[in-house]
Structure 1
Amino acid sequence: MGFGSYDESEQENQEYDTDLDDDGGVSADQNAHDGDVEFEFTASNDELIDRLSDIKENT
Structure 2
Amino acid sequence: MGFGSYDESEQDNQEYDTDFDDESGLNSEENAHEGDVEYEFTASNDELLDRLSDIKESETNT
Tell me the amino acid that sits aligned with residue 21 of structure 2.
D
SS in 1 for 2:47: helix
Summarize deviations over 1:33-56 as a string: whole Å, max 9, x none. 123222121111222233334444
Q: Report the count of equivalent residues.
A: 59
Equivalent residue for 1:49? 49
**What TM-score do you get using the length of structure 2 for normalisation?**
0.68
Q: How much does 1:4 deviate?
A: 0.7
Tell me the amino acid that sits aligned with residue 48 of structure 2.
L
CA-atom RMSD in angstroms = 1.9
**What TM-score do you get using the length of structure 1 for normalisation?**
0.71
**Structure 1 unaligned spans of 5+:** none
Instruction: Describe how 1:1-59 pairs up with structure 2 within 5 A.
Output: 1-58=1-58, 59=60
**Structure 2 unaligned spans of 5+:** none
Q: Which 10-residue stretch deviates more, 49-58 or 16-25?
A: 49-58
Q: 1:20 to 1:56 in 2, by over 3 A?
A: closer
